[in-house]
Amino acid sequence: MRTLPLTLAAALAATLLLTACDDGKTGDDDAKNADPANGSACAIGDLGVEVGAGAAPAAGDTGNVTVTLTNQGAQCTLKGFPSVDLAAEDSTTSVSPEEGAKAQPLTLGKGGTTSFTITYVRGEAGSAKSLAVRKASFTLPGAPEDAHDLTWSYGEVARRDGSDSGGAAEASVSGFESSGD
């Protein structure tokens, strides 16, 4: 009689352990992981894009560029982080997800909106320790070949390690945030 409750408890613990294995990282499997029951992976061509910024006023200050996406097509799913690259005349650097952020799957119906934010530290104009960003480019999880370019008019971006060249930008990208209902 006592064996059944212990067996049931062990099975429940194993199930919970297996469902808690998501480490929040994204990868090339994002397209395969889009839940067909909740729609396919969102494509940039089906989304309206609006950009709002709280630009950093001076070197060393933090700024935010918020990208709002509105689904103009069929229901779709975002599973992972947006992939963001900052491009200067002579180099491009990828922006990492915010430290400790976990991607949450998000389903957008027609007319649904979501947003993500690029946070950056403004660099000193003309400094070798800054990246003179001219363009930000982003793709969505599950659609890495479909990029959208944004003109960057928010000043230079500091390099993460303070090096004179080759250092990654001191910037991060948030996960997708739900908007509205």
**pLDDT top residue among 6 and 123:** 123
Answer with the residue of higher pLDDT: 140 or 38: 140
For residue 136, count other CB atoms closer than 10 A to its CB: 24
Is the pLDDT confidence value at 153 over 80?
Answer: yes
Q: Taking the mean position of all CA atoms in its chain, how far away is CA 76? A: 16
Separation between Cα atoms, residue 63 and residue 122, nearest integer Å:
7
Position with higher pLDDT, 86 vs 162: 86
User: 91-125, pLDDT tens digit by residue?
Assistant: 899 999 999 988 889 999 999 999 999 999 999 99
What pLDDT score does 53 carry?
92
Give percent of the chain above pLDDT 90: 62
pLDDT in tens, 40-76: 999 999 999 999 999 999 999 999 999 999 999 999 9
- Torsion, Cα 163 166 170 175, to 10 degrees, reads -160
- Report residue 38: phi and psi, to 5°: -105, 10
179 pLDDT higher than 80: no
Pairing outcome for strands 92-97 and 171-173: parallel
Q: What's residue 22's pLDDT?
A: 34
CA atoms within 13 A on the CB side of 130: 18
* Confidence band, pLDDT 50/70/90 cuts, at residue 178: confident
Q: Predicted confidence band at 180 (pLDDT cuts at 50, 70, 90)?
A: low
pTM over 0.85: no
Picking from 141, 158, 143, 140, the residue whose alpha carbon sits closest to that of residue 86 is: 158
